[in-house]
A = this chain, B = another copy of it.
């Protein structure tokens, strides 16, 4: 199921599809930092991610400082990474245009 916690090997495989994302040391989350040309672009990106996240009912932990957006994905209910996190990461990568 999409919300089942993934094992280490599955995570290693899943990371190959989103190579720009970094696995947290504990293996419970993945993160990526995005840089844009302006706040306008950064927040525009966040809005597109917010709509996608709401549709998936799976939300990022994220912060924004001017042109920079830091995103961390994890599934708290599962206590680690699930298929949903990697699906959202792929979607975010596409939305970022990076």
Contact = CB atoms under 8 A, between A and B. Distances in A.
Contacts of A61: 63-65
A53 interface: yes
Contact of A54 (B39, B53, B65): B39
Interface residues of A, number: 15
Count identical subunits in the complex.
2
Interface of A: 39-40, 43, 46-47, 50, 53-54, 59, 61-66
A53 B47 CA distance: 15
Nearest to A70: B63
Given A62-B64, A63-B63, 17 more contacts: A39-B50, A39-B53, A39-B54, A39-B59, A40-B54, A43-B47, A43-B50, A43-B54, A46-B46, A47-B47, A59-B65, A59-B66, A61-B63, A61-B64, A61-B65, A62-B63, A63-B64
